[in-house]
Chains A and B, each alone.
Chain A
Amino acid sequence: MKLLKPSWVSHNGKPIFSVDIHPDGTKFATGGQGEDSGKVMIWNMAPVLREEDEKNENIPKMLCQMDNHLACVNCVRWSNNGLYLASGGDDKLVMVWKRAALIGPSTVFGSSSKLANVEQWRCVTILRNHTGDVMDVAWSPHDVWLASCSVDNTIVIWNARKFPEMVTCLRGHTGLVKGLTWDPVGKYIASQADDHSLKVWRTVDWQMDANITKPFSECGGTTHVLRLSWSPDGQYLVSAHAMNNSGPTAQIVERDGWKTNMDFVGHRKAVTVVKFNPKIFKKKQKNGSSPKPSCPYCCCAVGSKDRSLSVWLTSLKRPLVVIHDLFDKSIMDISWTLTGLGMLVCSMDGTVAYLDFSLDELGDPLSEEEKNTIHQNIYGKSLAITNTEVQLSTTIIENPEMLKYQQERQNSAQTNVGAAAAGPESAAPKVNSVMNGESLEDIRKNLLKKQVETRTADGRRRITPLCIAQLDTGDFSPALFNSAPILPSGSSLSNQLAPQLNSDSSPGQPASLGLRPSQDGVLTSPPANSGAKGPEDDRDGLKSSLLLTSASKIEPMKALDSRFTERSKATPGVPSAISSTAGLTPLERPKDGVSALKEVKTKEETSSDSEDKMAAINKNLSFAKRKPELLLDGGEVVEKRKKGRPRKDKMAATIAQPFTQVRSGKRVSFLSRHSYGAARPEQEVTRSLCSAGRLQITPPPPEREPSRAAAPPPPAAVLRLPTPSPQKAFSLQVSMEPSVFLEVENEMSMVAGSKLSQLRCSRDGRDWNTLLPSSVLVAAGSSDVLAVVCDDRMMSVFSCCGRRLLPAIQLASPISALHCSAHFVMALTAGAALSVWDVQRQKALVRNESLQPLLSGADTTVSQSMLTQQGVPVIGLSNGKSYCFSLSLETWTLVADKGDSLVQCADFRSCLPSQDAAASSGPLAVVQGRNLNAGRLASRLSSTPHHLQQSMTLAFLENQLASALTLQSSQEYRHWLLIYARFLVNEGSEYRLRELCKELLGPVHKSASSSWQPATLGLHKRELLREVLPVIGENLRFQRLFTEYQDQLELLRLK
């Protein structure tokens, strides 16, 4: 036996709680504590196995580190096929990792270690259900299930073929569950917990088969883990910490009757981990000795809190070897190589040890075939893992169409597998990867110019990031991290600086100082520094060398350091709109950021210094020199405010309000605000103050922000909706493709005593303009039409070339929102009446339809309005409900409700098509806020009966279908129809499926009385049926239905 402690395997001295060797033996994973999170690391096995590899600097030792777990990682386990790694931690999560085909190295940004990740492992699923620390995870044989156990006393079985689906939750333990092991035959899973019990559960019905308590009655709950193990022949289960005559043991439980007659004795403290060698051994045939048949035996390693490790053979009465003092602290986990000859052990002290055995010591391992023979002899074939495919294979395929279809499916699945297998090779690092014919380098050089930047309704900058890699397509472009960063010319100083700053960690290296020590160079220079203090923290080095210029700044530097780590108190969007030009300090930041206590500031403090801050606003407003007339405005406002002397903290809060509220999508009810403003004049002032501040930045497109009126509030009784305020000039982008810009300049010139306003439009570089007799309040446009409404309530509509299409339309009350889409124009007036016109056909689609029935509650107001490409108006209300006016039904219909419990509970994720991004951009998705977090709560409802969730999902999907239909969004209709069909297929509801097919197929023979329409929303129903049928064909249970409709479709096609 050889023993090695690879010192380079470490989590920077932090405890390592788990270790697991990859099935192919080339790498292993460790899990434990990171700097401020949990940490999973993947290491190369070669340097452990061979000394020359360890010395070879070209062979990486660490392959990847992932600090995604929020807290300590208690367990890491590779799946049996080696494709996945599961990790469980104190953050209650189980994460499943998969290797991304990218082979470029990258670092964790900003981490102190400069080691590159040689392999990229990506978290593909997060399994959330546990309400306490996850202590152990285990993959079932053949990776059908993944089990996790937790201090919440439960064990969760996850469907490993369909993450994050949960199969079941095993309840019964009354203490922290700290260990799991699967029966190698797949019939049982065993768990050990702090409740002095070891329980065995059946996988057939997930019920408890045995509850073994006797050997554990004396146990105290003192071990961190209780990793028990099942022997590879399935005959024995060995527990962790058990007691026999007050001595710690590892209890052997026989499969036959769960008898507890034997144990492993000898450890002085509790056993934390037991791990069987995956191989079954037989006695080594010595040369010369006659080959006599000997009974096969197993090998088992036992680790304990007494820091020692023992290795046992079931053929021997005494341990094969006992190793004391291998570690400074308790042993936490053991992992054997699949060959059965190597073993890694990890400890709380943050180190690992590798043990290498020879065949002479352990014996001859049986081949997999021999092992299977043993399994078959003991358990028979009937105990093979049952899974859906096995079950299905017994179903007879009844017709050739179906057979053909099934075969096609299999073929395509195989080619996919083939492609995936070829993936890693083909994705060898290419330094200059190319995207759309353009290298990433080129993209980076022009990124600033190319990226799309817009302004939101409240005038804030919004950048659409450039997507450089999709997640689902798997392989990230490696170019970014292989390539040297683009250093702009003249970056010599930063280059100089970098080595100098790192010089601390490499003693003796002469420091080429970019920063020259100034005359008061009190501090020691970096080389001396490193010599005297030894290896120093990177950061300190950085600090000291930086400080060379001004040693007097040591104290301030400490203060600077705290800035790095302290969470900003400034709420988003609060001061930013103002400060982006004026450079305000955030209003609510604590003055002294060092003490955490101060973060919780009392209101008194805020109010006491807010006077200075307000003065700062005053000062800052005068800094903005872009618009003199507005500057004047601002000055006046502040002056007025001073006279009024409102409560200061109130002031600060109200300034913040409009921005935050718009930002979070919760529009304020302006009806109530106005009345409030009338009662308290200073409120009015603050509002105009902030609108002045906003105007200085950019005039945002007014039609999208109905929520800020600077003008005195109109009588609330008549007008329910806010109106936009007049502006001197504004511009907006109407459409991107073709690129159409609209500019409005009000009161541009005076002709014969009347003020004229100019509307200028630029379309693909060509301009046109027109004049209007009164100032334009709002403008909107689509690629076909443009519409403007003036403050005399006149609406004018122009074609894309500037031709007036309609005579001016007189609106009943001032405009609140205006939208154009395709050749439709929608106007929402302050009187809460909605109209939609079809400009092409010169026809009203919706005529002055009142929103009063929708705005019933006192606080409800319109938060969003929209016009679809089909001319369907949609109104989003502040209470989360969205309505559209159905043109055919001539009534308001509810299309989305954010508070709908069905949305929260429906779980159809398993039915989602693999790649279909089209549906995420339709009007339905827009009104539902794109955060259709359907199924988010689904996992929480595991306690609710399946049929209830099934019904909820069904109801939800049908709602979606109906809404898509009303919105006339054909793509979304198709999207949801396919999900619906898939769900029906998965859930096996033939009745509805048949009805759906019938509706899609329509009458096969033409009849006059039939009211069946062959198309819906421009989609041919029979085409839809053709798309639905393959989905039905996936479930062999419906093969008759599949055949029936396939035949009829075929018939119709031939007709």
Chain B
Amino acid sequence: MAKVQVLNVAVLDNPSPFGNPFQFEITFECMEDLPEDLEWKIIYVGSAESEEYDQILDSVLVGPVPAGRHMFVFQADAPNTGLIPESDAVGVTVVLITCTYRGQEFIRIGYYVNNEYTDPELRENPPIKPDYTQLQRNILASNPRVTRFHINWEGCAERMEDSENVDPTSNPMLPPSCLPGKAPPVGILPDNSMDCL
């Protein structure tokens, strides 16, 4: 099971002007002392069409993490407007917070973000070239979408023991997939490769 459980993410400074930094106050709980740091990332999806426009706003290491409940504020600069396609500046997009341990992503928290002009005039007749100074960013804090991935928390040593279970056709970087049988019916979440711990 996951050694780290995210208990809460509070979206601070929301809504805010587009250029303000993102601020997430993250509370998580750790079952046992983690020998390595957690790596958190904020990814801004610049355009729904393609991941090409995803921007990693920042990534931080968080550690040391002893067993217990912890919190921190993850602040990252606003996205680089130069990398956002103009047609996607206004409207709904997504910001993602991911956390990886030993290079494996185990949780992905997504929020819808609505970028909108506050001025009614601009809203009716949006300029062709987006005016980022007038845009307001509103993160839908009430509806986080959380996807948890099963990873190997013990790191490489244990993975070797699992090697016999690895499906040779799959990407060797990904943990072996869940064995069929009484496997959970997969819903909308394309979950989840599971480790054989």
Binding site for B on A (CB under 8 A): 33-37, 68-72, 90-93, 95, 106, 109-111, 123, 126, 128, 133, 444, 447-448, 451, 453, 456, 460-472, 476, 480-481, 485-486, 488, 490-491, 493-494, 497-498, 501-502, 514-516, 518-519, 538-539, 542, 546-547, 549-550, 553, 555-557, 559-560, 563-568, 570-573, 575-576, 579-580, 582-586, 589-593, 596, 599-600, 623, 660, 664, 904, 917, 920, 929-931, 933, 936
Bound state CA distance, A106 and B7, in angstroms?
9
Bound state CA distance, A788 and B154, in angstroms?
39
Nearest residue in B to A476 (C-beta to C-beta)?
B69
Q: Are B91 and A497 in contact (CB under 8 A)?
A: no
Contacts of B6 in A (CB 8 A): 109-110
What are 24 A-B pairs at a CB distance below 8 A?
A: A33-B184, A35-B189, A36-B148, A36-B189, A71-B184, A72-B184, A95-B1, A110-B145, A451-B73, A461-B58, A462-B37, A465-B28, A467-B66, A467-B70, A515-B114, A547-B92, A550-B92, A563-B110, A568-B108, A579-B55, A580-B56, A583-B57, A585-B51, A591-B51
Contacts A461-B58, A468-B71, A573-B59 known; A494 to B1 CB distance under 8 Å? no
List the 8 closest pairs (A to B, CB-CB), nearest first.
A110-B146, A931-B35, A556-B48, A465-B70, A576-B59, A564-B110, A583-B80, A469-B69
B166 within 8 A of A: no
How many Å from the CB of A430 to the closest CB on chain B?
16
Q: Are A579 and B184 in contact (CB under 8 A)?
A: no
Contact of B73 among A106, A448, A470, A539 (CB under 8 A): A448
B128 within 8 A of A: no
Nearest residue in A to B170 (C-beta to C-beta)?
A600
Contacts of A582 in B (CB 8 A): 80
Q: Are B184 and A560 in contact (CB under 8 A)?
A: no
Q: Are B146 and A111 in contact (CB under 8 A)?
A: yes
Contact of A559 among B49, B96, B185 (CB under 8 A): B49
Q: Are B48 and A70 in contact (CB under 8 A)?
A: no
Contacts of A494 in B (CB 8 A): 11, 14-15, 138-142
How many Å from the CB of A115 to the closest CB on chain B?
16
Contacts A68-B1, A494-B14, A556-B49 known; A468 to B94 CB distance under 8 Å? no
Q: Which of B83, B124, B187 has the most CB of A within 10 A?
A: B83
Q: Are B50 and A71 in contact (CB under 8 A)?
A: no
Bound state CA distance, A519 and B93, in angstroms?
20
Q: Which of A461, A589, A917 has the most CB of B within 10 A?
A: A461
Q: Are B92 and A565 in contact (CB under 8 A)?
A: no
Nearest residue in B to A601 (C-beta to C-beta)?
B171
Contacts of A580 in B (CB 8 A): 56-59
Contacts of A468 in B (CB 8 A): 27, 68-71
Q: Which of B90-143 contact A (CB under 8 A)?
A: 90-94, 96, 98, 100, 102-103, 105, 108-110, 112, 114, 116, 123-124, 136, 138-143
Q: Are A472 and B67 in contact (CB under 8 A)?
A: yes
Contacts of A488 in B (CB 8 A): 12-14
Contacts of A72 in B (CB 8 A): 182, 184
Contacts of B184 in A (CB 8 A): 33-37, 71-72
Bound state CA distance, A920 and B110, in angstroms?
36
Contact of A71 among B5, B52, B183 (CB under 8 A): B183
Chain A-chain B contacts (Cβ-Cβ < 8 Å), number: 305
Nearest residue in B to A581 (C-beta to C-beta)?
B77
Q: Are B82 and A623 in contact (CB under 8 A)?
A: yes
Bound state CA distance, A69 and B7, in angstroms?
17
Q: 9 extra interchain contacts, Cβ-Cβ under 8 A, other than A71-B194, A585-B54?
A: A71-B183, A453-B60, A498-B142, A556-B48, A567-B149, A572-B39, A580-B56, A660-B103, A930-B64
How many Å from the CB of A776 to the closest CB on chain B?
27
Contacts of A126 in B (CB 8 A): 1
Q: Are B116 and A565 in contact (CB under 8 A)?
A: no
Main secondary structure, interface of A, reads loop
Contacts of B108 in A (CB 8 A): 564-568
Contacts of B66 in A (CB 8 A): 467, 470, 917
Binding site for A on B (CB under 8 A): 1-2, 5-16, 23, 25, 27-33, 35-37, 39, 41, 43, 45, 47-75, 79-80, 82-83, 90-94, 96, 98, 100, 102-103, 105, 108-110, 112, 114, 116, 123-124, 136, 138-150, 154-155, 157, 170-171, 174, 178, 182-192, 194, 196-197
Q: Are A466 and B71 in contact (CB under 8 A)?
A: yes
How many Å from the CB of B95 to the closest CB on chain A?
10
Bound state CA distance, A985 and B60, in angstroms?
45
Bound state CA distance, A583 and B6, in angstroms?
26
Bound state CA distance, A637 and B2, in angstroms?
43
Q: Are A471 and B71 in contact (CB under 8 A)?
A: no
Q: Are A559 and B103 in contact (CB under 8 A)?
A: no
Contacts A90-B182, A472-B67 known; A480 to B91 CB distance under 8 Å? no
How many Å from the CB of A797 to the closest CB on chain B?
31
Q: Are B69 and A539 in contact (CB under 8 A)?
A: no
Bound state CA distance, A20 and B184, in angstroms?
22
Contact of A568 among B9, B98, B154, B189 (CB under 8 A): B98
How many Å from the CB of B67 to the closest CB on chain A?
4
Bound state CA distance, A828 and B107, in angstroms?
41
Contacts of B48 in A (CB 8 A): 553, 555-557, 559-560
Contacts of B73 in A (CB 8 A): 447-448, 451
Nearest residue in A to B193 (C-beta to C-beta)?
A567
Bound state CA distance, A589 and B102, in angstroms?
18
Q: Are A485 and B10 in contact (CB under 8 A)?
A: yes
Q: Are B33 and A542 in contact (CB under 8 A)?
A: no
How many Å from the CB of B116 to the closest CB on chain A?
7
How many Å from the CB of B186 to the closest CB on chain A?
7
Nearest residue in B to A921 (C-beta to C-beta)?
B64
Nearest residue in B to A456 (C-beta to C-beta)?
B61
Q: Which of A36, A557, A582 has the most CB of B within 10 A?
A: A36
Q: Are B72 and A497 in contact (CB under 8 A)?
A: no
Q: Are A572 and B59 in contact (CB under 8 A)?
A: yes
Q: Are A589 and B15 in contact (CB under 8 A)?
A: no
Contact of B146 among A109, A447, A481, A930 (CB under 8 A): A109
Bound state CA distance, A941 and B185, in angstroms?
35
Contacts of B36 in A (CB 8 A): 931
Nearest residue in A to B55 (C-beta to C-beta)?
A583
Q: Which of A110, A480, A538 has the most CB of B within 10 A?
A: A110
Bound state CA distance, A470 and B191, in angstroms?
31
Contact of B50 among A584, A591, A623 (CB under 8 A): A591
Nearest residue in A to B66 (C-beta to C-beta)?
A467
How many Å from the CB of B115 to the closest CB on chain A?
10
Bound state CA distance, A591 and B71, in angstroms?
34
Contacts of A664 in B (CB 8 A): 102-103
Q: Are A466 and B91 in contact (CB under 8 A)?
A: no
Q: Are B67 and A471 in contact (CB under 8 A)?
A: yes
Nearest residue in A to B172 (C-beta to C-beta)?
A600
Q: Are B190 and A565 in contact (CB under 8 A)?
A: yes
Contacts of A91 in B (CB 8 A): 1, 194, 197
Q: Are A36 and B72 in contact (CB under 8 A)?
A: no
How many Å from the CB of A176 to the closest CB on chain B?
12
Contacts of B178 in A (CB 8 A): 71
Nearest residue in B to A126 (C-beta to C-beta)?
B1
Nearest residue in B to A111 (C-beta to C-beta)?
B146
How many Å from the CB of A514 to the closest CB on chain B?
8
Contacts of B56 in A (CB 8 A): 570, 575-576, 579-580, 583-586
Nearest residue in A to B138 (C-beta to C-beta)?
A493
How many Å from the CB of B35 to the closest CB on chain A?
3
Contacts A33-B184, A70-B150, A580-B59 known; A553 to B196 CB distance under 8 Å? no
Bound state CA distance, A860 and B63, in angstroms?
28
Contact of A538 among B52, B68, B79, B143 (CB under 8 A): B143
Contact of A462 among B35, B62, B183 (CB under 8 A): B62
Bound state CA distance, A476 and B8, in angstroms?
14
Contact of A123 among B1, B59, B65, B147 (CB under 8 A): B1
Q: Are B114 and A572 in contact (CB under 8 A)?
A: no
Contacts of A485 in B (CB 8 A): 10
Bound state CA distance, A126 and B105, in angstroms?
22
Nearest residue in A to B65 (C-beta to C-beta)?
A465
How many Å from the CB of B99 to the closest CB on chain A?
10
